[in-house]
Structures are given as structure tokens and as C-alpha cells.
């Protein structure tokens, strides 16, 4: 597959960028990976990069976004952190990826059976991890369907609801805390979209803001 150039990136729409991701995930699910010469891509991208997407995902070893979306070197800005939570450094990275480097879509990608989500649901305290898991609390608090006695990491439905809430919370937080990204999204220059990666099938389901 070809590499994105400055020209192709500049003419790409957010909707087309999303379609690239959907098509790539479909290839992944069906084990039909695109034929790529990785060494050629190394040479093609040595003087510049023009990624079409910026993806915030969990650090889980099973959720590599280049594989999940069947993309190559230079296609995606991949930002990974437990629980796909947001902080100031990640915001700055996303501002670089969009405003300065020209990517057309930001994806907030959660996943099923997320250990960070389960840990937050169980109020785990462990060193610096405690502060990270605290960022998931708004997603827990906004889940009101589950009674108190079942609000634990062992309740699959509760964890699923919190996982989706967390993605939506980060999407809103992104615009609220970054005027740069909010302006790009409001003007239509970029799209912000959420999604869940299903460990059981390899499929990504998307939901928009």
C-alpha cells in the first residue's frame, strides 16, 4: 500500500480517515492484511511523516492499533496509556498530531476486559497507579444502572458500561481542556470519535461524539 504524502494528507477528509480505519479493522478481523514492504516504508518515511489518524488507546499488550487497524509505518500517531485516560502531556501530543502534523481524526479507543477499568471499579490503590485510576472515577460515577452490591470489576456488564462511559468522558474532556482541538473539531477539520475494541473477536465498534 502507498504511504501518505503531504499532498494526500492535506486532501483527506475526516470521514475518509475513519473509513480507512474501518476498512483496516475489517481486514484484520478477516486475517487479510495489506501487503506491505516495511523496509520500503522505513525509507519512504525517513524524511517526514504524514499520519492520517491520532489514536489514544490502552497500553494492553493485545491492543496495538497499527495491527488492529492494519496500518503501516507513518500512518498513525499511537498514544497508549492504561485505561486510555487523558492528561496534559497526552493533550499536547494530540495538539501536535492534529494542528501541527495534520492528522484528520482522533480516536479514543477502549477495549473489553480492561484491567485498568476493573482496577478502578475495585478502587485499587497501588503507588502511582492510584492517581491514574482516579481519572476513571467520573466514568464509574456516571454509571447508575448497577446497584451498589454489584459495582465491582467482576461484574462484566458493569465493567462494559464503565468502559464505554470512560471513552465518552475522555472525548468530552478532550474538547473541554484543549481549545485547539475543540476549534479543529468544531470547524470540521478533524473528527473526534470513540470506539471499543473487542478482545474476543478483534472487531472495533465505533460511536461518535
Q: Where are the domains of the chain?
A: 6-208
User: Yes or no: is domain 6-208 CATH 3.40.1050.10?
Assistant: yes
Instruction: Characterise 31 by phi-psi region: left (phi > 0), alpha (psi -120 to 50), beta (else).
Output: left
Q: Pick from 146, 88, 94, 84: which is nearest to 121 by CA?
A: 146
**Full-model pTM:** 0.92
Q: Which pLDDT score is estimated for 198?
A: 98
pLDDT at 41: 66
SS3 11: helix
pLDDT tens-place string over residues 7-23: 677 789 999 999 999 99
In angstroms, the first-to-last Cα distance of the chain is: 30
Please report which confidence band the pLDDT of residue 160 belongs to, taking 50, 70 and 90 as the band edges.
Answer: very high
Residue 90, pLDDT score: 98
Please report how many Cα atoms fall inside a 13 Å half-sphere around the Cα of residue 85, on the Cβ side.
Answer: 21
User: Any idea which residue has 485516560 for its cell?
Assistant: 85
pLDDT category at 3 given cuts 50, 70, 90 is low
Does residue 6 carry a pLDDT above 80? no
Cα-based torsion angle of the residue sequence 164, 170, 176, 182 in order, rounded to the nearest 10 degrees:
-90
Q: How many CB atoms lie within 10 A of CB 151?
A: 16
Residue position matching grid coordinates 499488550: 61
pLDDT tens string 95-145: 999 999 999 999 999 999 999 999 999 999 999 999 999 999 999 999 999
Q: Please tell me the least confidently modeled range out of 12-26, 42-56, 137-151.
A: 42-56
Of the chain, the percentage scoring pLDDT greater than 70 comes to 91
Give pLDDT, residue 10: 75
Amino acid at each position: 500500500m502507498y504511504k501518505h504524502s503531504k499532498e494526500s494528507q492535506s486532501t483527506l477528509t475526516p470521514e475518509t480517515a475513519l473509513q480507512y480505519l474501518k476498512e483496516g479493522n475489517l481486514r484484520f478481523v478477516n486475517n487479510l492484511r495489506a501487503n506491505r514492504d516495511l523496509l520500503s516504508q522505513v525509507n519512504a518515511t525517513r524524511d517526514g511523516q504524514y499520519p492520517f489518524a491520532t489514536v489514544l488507546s490502552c497500553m494492553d499488550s493485545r491492543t496495538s492499533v497499527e495491527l488492529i487497524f492494519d496500518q503501516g509505518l507513518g500512518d498513525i500517531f499511537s498514544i497508549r496509556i492504561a485505561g486510555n485516560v487523558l492528561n496534559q502531556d497526552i493533550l499536547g501530543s494530540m495538539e501536535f498530531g492534529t494542528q501541527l502534523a495534520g492528522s484528520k481524526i482522533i480516536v479514543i479507543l477502549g477495549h473489553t476486559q480492561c484491567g485498568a477499568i476493573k482496577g478502578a471499579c475495585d478502587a485499587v490503590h497501588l503507588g502511582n497507579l492510584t492517581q491514574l485510576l482516579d481519572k476513571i472515577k467520573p466514568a464509574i460515577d456516571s454509571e447508575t444502572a448497577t446497584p451498589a452490591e454489584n459495582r465491582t470489576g467482576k461484574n462484566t456488564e458493569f465493567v462494559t458500561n464503565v468502559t464505554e462511559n470512560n471513552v465518552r468522558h475522555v472525548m468530552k474532556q478532550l474538547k473541554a481542556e484543549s481549545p485547539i482541538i475543540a476549534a479543529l473539531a468544531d470547524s470540521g477539520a478533524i473528527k473526534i470519535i470513540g470506539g471499543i475494541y473487542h478482545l474476543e473477536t478483534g472487531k472495533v465498534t465505533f460511536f461518535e461524539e
